[in-house]
């Protein structure tokens, strides 16, 4: 059976949902093997068994986190070669894509990013040009490297759990030489809200907020949603740049996207038009966002949002 290598980077105490999605997809394509970086805690080891992983590989070096990308790609290439894996799966984070990029060159393997599904014959599906096309693509190489977007696979444990063996993989000598070294790292204060890229619901605000994200944040918290913003709002410094949705920010495809005070020009549309349901609130009835909204409200967001927040709290009790 074909071997599928899944890269899991620093899982901490438990596996993220996106990691479980990778393991589920891997099992549908062949025998799944995990290449782990970082500590292996008991709960994570147990989850690997539940998801039917046959082996867990660990690097011989412990300093991979001190460098950007290159040594992790070297480790993963060694892991792929030692197991004879024909597919390597990574998450679709910026770092996941860059590791995939370098890994592809090391393995002479085609790389496909932003994958939403993979068929048994290796055909991968993704959308391109800001969601305006759905495409099917394949690699033409013996090994394929794919990065999977979150929320496209339903995590499912294996019918028969496994007892994975642990194997150490030698990280090639010299793989940290031509790499950038991380000399300092500051953790940002956690918002407690879901991650914008993976969130099921996003509430986003724009120019119409005039500097006050309060109504957007309160509605987001009532819905358990992530907070997003248009470029106008992040450029104005009203909210962190990390929150930007659009062509120069993040691309999101949540179940529900609520747009408040955003005109919906192409730059913003590019980042959110694959959302399942779009709700828009804007004072200007001519805003382009109303052309793509499933439910649009022409009105003052400072009235509509707080009223909706109060109503949600009331109904949720």
Partner 1 sequence: MEKTLKIIVLVKHVPDAQFDRHLNGEGYTTDRDESILSELDEYALEAALQLAEARGGSKAGNQVIALSMGPAGAVNSVKKSLQMGATEGVHLTDDALAGSDAAATSLALSAAVRYLGQDAPVDLIITGMASTDGETSLVPAQLAERLGLPQVTFASSLEVDGGRLVARRDADTSSETVEAALPALVSVTDQINEPRYPNFKGIIAAKRKSITTLSLADIGVDPAQVGHAGSWTTVTNAEERPPRTAGTIITDEGDAGIKLVDFLAAQKLL
In a 3-state reduction of DSSP, which class is residue 54? coil
Q: Of 22, 67, 23, 58, which is closest to residue 40 (Cα–Cα)?
A: 58
**Positions 37 through 56 that interact with partner 1 (CB under 8 A):** none
Footprint (CB under 8 A) of partner 1, residues 245-274: 247-248, 251, 255-256, 266-267, 270, 273-274
The answer to the question of residue 173 lying near partner 1 (CB under 8 A) is: no
**Which two structure tokens, joined as six digits, stand for 301?**
């967001």
140 binds partner 1 (CB under 8 A): yes
By beta-carbon proximity to partner 1, the closer residue of 129 and 160 is 129
Q: How far is the CB of 170 from partner 1 (least distance, A)?
A: 20
15 and 47 in contact (C-beta within 8 Å)? yes
| Choice from 135, 165, 210, 211 touching partner 1 (CB under 8 A) | 135
Q: Hey, is 219 helix, strand or coil? A: helix
Q: Exposed e or buried b for every residue in 40-55, given b needs 16+ CB within 10 A? A: eeeebbebbeebbbbb
Residue of 13, 183, 286, 317 interacting with partner 1 (CB under 8 A): 183
Residues 191-220 close enough to bind partner 1 by CB under 8 A: 195-196, 201
296 binding partner 1? (CB under 8 A): yes
Place of tokens 């290598």: 5
Based on its alpha-carbon atoms, the radius of gyration of the chain, rounded to whole angstroms, reads 21
Per rule CB under 8 A, is residue 136 in the interface with partner 1?
yes
Q: 1 or 129: whose CB is closer to partner 1? A: 129
Site membership for partner 1, residue 237 (CB under 8 A): no
Q: Applying CB under 8 A, does 310 fall inside the site for partner 1?
A: yes
> What is the nearest approach in angstroms of partner 1 to the Cβ of residue 208?
13
| Window 61-100: residues binding partner 1 (CB under 8 A) | 68-70, 73, 94, 97-98, 100
> Using H for helix, E for strand and C for coil, what is the string for 53-121?
CCEEEEECCCCHHHECCHHHHHHHHHHHHHHCCCEEEEECCHHHHHHHHHHHHHHCCEEEEEECEECCC
List 40, 45, 158, 312, residue binding partner 1 (CB under 8 A): 312
Q: Please identify, among the stretches 2-10, 41-49, 50-58, 125-133, the one whose residues bind partner 1 according to the rule CB under 8 A.
A: 125-133
Between the CA of residue 279 and those of 22, 254, 298, what are the distances in Å? 31, 12, 11
Do the beta carbons of residue 252 and residue 199 sit within 8 Å? yes
Q: Does 284 bind partner 1 (CB under 8 A)?
A: no
Give the CA count within 13 Å in the CB-facing half-sphere of 56.
Answer: 23
- Binding span for partner 1 by CB under 8 A among 5-13, 15-23, 31-39, 127-135: 127-135
């Amino acid at each position: 059976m074909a071997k599928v290598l899944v890269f899991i980077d620093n899982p901490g105490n438990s596996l993220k949902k996106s990691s479980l999605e990778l393991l589920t997809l891997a099992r549908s394509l062949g025998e799944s093997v995990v290449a782990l970086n970082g500590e292996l805690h008991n709960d994570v080891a147990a989850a690997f068994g539940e998801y039917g992983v046959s082996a867990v590989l660990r690097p011989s070096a412990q300093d991979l986190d001190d460098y950007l990308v290159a040594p992790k790609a070297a480790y993963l290439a060694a892991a792929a070669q030692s197991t004879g894996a024909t597919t390597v799966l990574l998450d679709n984070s910026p770092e996941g894509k860059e590791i995939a990029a370098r890994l592809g060159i090391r393995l002479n393997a085609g790389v496909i990013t932003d994958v939403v599904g993979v068929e048994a014959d290796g055909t991968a599906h993704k959308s391109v040009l800001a969601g305006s096309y759905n495409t099917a693509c394949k690699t033409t190489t013996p090994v394929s490297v794919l990065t999977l977007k979150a929320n496209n696979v339903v995590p499912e444990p294996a019918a028969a759990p496994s007892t994975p063996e642990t194997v150490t993989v030698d990280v090639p000598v010299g793989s940290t030489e031509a790499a950038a070294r991380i000399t300092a790292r500051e953790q940002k204060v956690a918002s407690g809200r879901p991650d914008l890229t993976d969130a099921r619901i996003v509430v986003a605000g724009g120019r119409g907020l005039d500097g006050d994200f309060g109504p957007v944040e309160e509605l987001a918290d009532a819905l358990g949603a992530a907070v997003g913003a248009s470029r106008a709002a992040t450029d104005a410094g009203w909210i962190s740049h990390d929150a930007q949705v659009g062509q120069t920010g993040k691309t999101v495809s949540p179940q529900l996207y609520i747009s408040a005070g955003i005109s919906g020009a192409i730059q913003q549309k590019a980042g959110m038009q694959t959302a399942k349901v779009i709700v828009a609130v804007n004072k200007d009835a001519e805003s382009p966002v109303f052309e793509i909204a499933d439910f649009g409200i022409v009105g003052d967001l400072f009235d509509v949002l707080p009223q909706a927040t109060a109503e949600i709290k009331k109904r949720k009790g």
